[in-house]
Amino acid sequence: MFLQSYAKNRYSKYVIAPHVAAMSMRERHLYEDMGFKNRVQMGKYMKCHFPKLFELKPADKLWKKFIYDSLDLVAPACFTCKDQTNCFACRLVG
pLDDT tens digits, residue range 44-61? 999 999 999 999 999 988
Contact indicator for 41, 33 with CB cutoff of 8 Å = no
pLDDT confidence bin for 84, thresholds 50/70/90: low
Domain range for 67 is: 4-86
Quick check: is 36 in a domain? yes
- Alpha-carbon distance of 91 to 94, in angstroms, equals 7
Quick check: is 81 in a domain? yes
- For residue 94, is pLDDT > 50? no
pLDDT at position 93 is 42
Q: Which pLDDT tens digit goes with each residue over 6-30?
A: 999 999 999 999 999 999 999 888 9
- Alpha-carbon distance of 48 to 38, in angstroms, equals 16
Task: Count how many domains the chain has.
Answer: 1
pLDDT at position 74 is 83
Quick check: is 57 in a domain? yes
Torsion angles phi and psi, residue 45, rounded to 5: -65, -45
pLDDT at position 82 is 66
**pTM of model > 0.95:** no
Quick check: is 92 in a domain? no
